[in-house]
Amino acid sequence: MTAVHLPGTPVIEGGHLISTNPATGDEAGRLPVATADDVARAVEQARAAGQWWAGLGFDARRDRLLRWRRLLAQRMEELAELVHVEGGKPVADALVEIVSAVEHVDWAARNARRVLGPRKVRSRLILAEFSAHLEYQPHGVVGVIGPWNYPVFTPIGSAAYALAAGNTVVLKPSEYTPVAGQWLVDTFAEVVPERPVFTAVHGLGDTGAALCRAGVDKLAFTGSTATAKKVMATCAESLTPVLLEAGGKDAMIVDADADLDAAAEACVWGAMTNAGQTCIGIERVYAVEPVFDAFVDKVVERAGRLTVGADGADVGPITMPSQLDVIRRHIDDALARGGRAALGGPDAVRPPYAHPTVLVDVPEDAAAVREETFGPTVTINRVRDADEALTRANALPYGLGGSVFGRRRAVAIARRLRSGMASVNSTLTFAGMSTLPFGGVGESGFGRIHGEDGLREFARAKAVTRRRARSPLPSTTFERTPADVDRLVKAVKLLYGRKP
Ligand code: NDP
């Protein structure tokens, strides 16, 4: 018989973390809670396995990662169902998430050698008697701490790149989605059964903190800004390098020459997919005055058509029950400050659901504009022009992604968004583009996953110079003569003392 708990709230019982469905409270699975000693042991085992994994080399690792990619692709419906049951995410959204994760595994596996492998780099005239070599070596053990909202995409965004680079990985999934995390490591072990190359430890925040202290060589964190600060402070104790993918409050800018139907469609999806629980979700829109009213009408019409419910609906339950209070507070505050609900409003929050809500003309100091809402809500404010839109969009400490709709100036506007990523005439697409780096600025964190930068994030540059001839102008030896140094100074003046 399955136990029934308060919907969505994880419970610890008999040393096990019990994951529950946010819509029904039914148990989705249970996993043993790792103590600090268990975590330290997992890291130790990963370190021992790392010798073997790194020693396999790029090609053998690529083959194994591609086998895992194949398994993920073949069993994606099974994983999507599990993500749906555990986190409440609609199955279609879960499938889209998994598709993106599969793409990242494929790209990381295929490109690690090209990006990180040993290569000769050019010498400069001043040290022409030396050759230069560069390679990127794995850090060792990478700890990955993940959130619940994208329980497949976010851990894989770090883990696949770390593994391809030759690291072993210990994952601490969110307490809300441990079953999905365990599924990932179990399937990896099916294709790499030899050693514990990719493992998971489960528990609450203190298990994450234990992972930060367990001697990992790098910690890749994805989650809220508040926890990112704690993780960085804990890792500072041992100077463990961190990669922080934190929260966001992404803006969309709609310019006068935008395709308004396309913009409205993308706005509704960007704001309300996964019930708005998306770090790079569109939470605020700035639309220029001439198109404002038409754009709002189109958004309201589309958002009003979304269905809300547990199975087969467009918008599923809110995964963390406590988030419902945040969503309600943001709506109430926006309305109290003079904003208007063009859709939804004060009664939009009906646990465990939040219904689509479109808030317009909301003052910029409202919580709904300044703080992460993480619900199927969006604010739409009117602006004079794209410059004013940019000033407002860039006014927050967050800077994760963003979106611009328009023709003539859209790319130029996207470049001026203070964010790590931007999509022009679409939303969120940069996340699935495995050739592009993903990460934020300011309170959205630092470091990059995905793409070439994402591979380098999980490796350290190793530089080697090799003498290939005697030095014509010896200087880095006590055998040098004053004449050698004179000649060197003259050579440098000749080379670099000229007008550029
Ligand atoms: P949290 O910050 O609450 O948790 C993230 C992870 O950190 C969880 O596994 C959590 O464990 C763990 N954790 C909690 N406390 C500590 C601690 N002291 N030391 C180490 N680890 C700890 O975020 P959520 O899970 O609620 O995820 C939502 C947030 O993630 C949003 O702010 C969202 O914007 C952000 N996010 C960012 C993304 C990005 O790429 N920039 C992508 C996706 C989400 P436990 O769950 O057990 O508490």
Residue 414 lies in a domain: yes
- Are 104 and 236 members of one domain? yes
State residue 4's pLDDT score: 45
Residue 39: CATH number of its domain = 3.40.605.10
The answer, yes or no, to whether residue 496 has pLDDT greater than 90, is yes
Residue 440 lies in a domain: no
- The three-state secondary structure class of 461 is strand
State residue 9's pLDDT score: 76
Residue 298 lies in a domain: yes
The answer, yes or no, to whether residue 7 has pLDDT greater than 90, is no
Give the count of beta carbons closer than 10 Å to the beta carbon of residue 362.
Answer: 25
419 Cα to the center of ligand 1, angstroms: 20
Residue with tokens 């589309």: 302
- Are 139 and 280 members of one domain? no
State how far the Cα of 22 lies from the Cα of 9, in Å rounded to an integer: 7
Residue with tokens 């050759």: 131
The answer, yes or no, to whether residue 446 has pLDDT greater than 70, is yes
Q: What is the pLDDT of the chain when averaged over all its residues?
A: 96
In the DSSP assignment, the letter for residue 274 is G
Query: Which residue type occupies 71?
Result: L
pLDDT in tens, 299-340: 999 999 999 998 899 999 999 999 999 999 999 999 999 999
State residue 2's pLDDT score: 42
State residue 8's pLDDT score: 66
Backbone CA torsion sign across 174, 180, 182, 184: negative
- Are 240 and 209 members of one domain? yes
Domain extent for 232:
11-247+451-459
State residue 170's pLDDT score: 99
Q: E strands within 34-167?
A: 119-121, 130-138, 141-145
Give Cβ neighbours of residue 244 (< 8 Å, ≥ 6 apart).
221, 228, 231, 232, 445, 446, 447
| Report field, pTM of the whole predicted structure over 0.85 | yes
- Are 350 and 390 members of one domain? yes
- Are 154 and 214 members of one domain? yes
- Are 51 and 137 members of one domain? yes
- Are 217 and 310 members of one domain? no
Give the count of beta carbons closer than 10 Å to the beta carbon of residue 119.
Answer: 12
- The three-state secondary structure class of 436 is coil
Give the count of beta carbons closer than 10 Å to the beta carbon of residue 357.
Answer: 29
Residue 412: CATH number of its domain = 3.40.309.10
- Are 405 and 328 members of one domain? yes
pLDDT in tens, 381-438: 999 999 999 999 999 999 999 999 999 999 999 999 999 999 999 999 999 999 999 9
279 Cα to the center of ligand 1, angstroms: 11
Residue 479 lies in a domain: no
State residue 451's pLDDT score: 98
Contact assessment for residue 49 and residue 195, using Cβ atoms and an 8 Å cutoff: yes
Give me the residues paired with residue 460 across strands: 137
pLDDT in tens, 213-231: 999 999 999 999 999 999 9
Residue 446 lies in a domain: no
Give Cβ neighbours of residue 128 (< 8 Å, ≥ 6 apart).
none
Pocket of ligand 1 (CB under 6 A): 145-150, 154, 172, 174-176, 204-205, 208-209, 212, 222-224, 227, 230-231, 234, 245-248, 279, 372, 400, 440, 444-445
Backbone CA torsion sign across 179, 180, 181, 183: positive
State residue 201's pLDDT score: 98
- Are 273 and 161 members of one domain? no
Annotated catalytic residues are 245, 279
- Are 141 and 271 members of one domain? no
pLDDT in tens, 68-86: 999 999 999 999 999 999 9
294 Cα to the center of ligand 1, angstroms: 37
The answer, yes or no, to whether residue 1 has pLDDT greater than 80, is no
pLDDT in tens, 231-284: 999 999 999 999 999 999 999 999 999 999 999 999 999 999 999 999 999 999
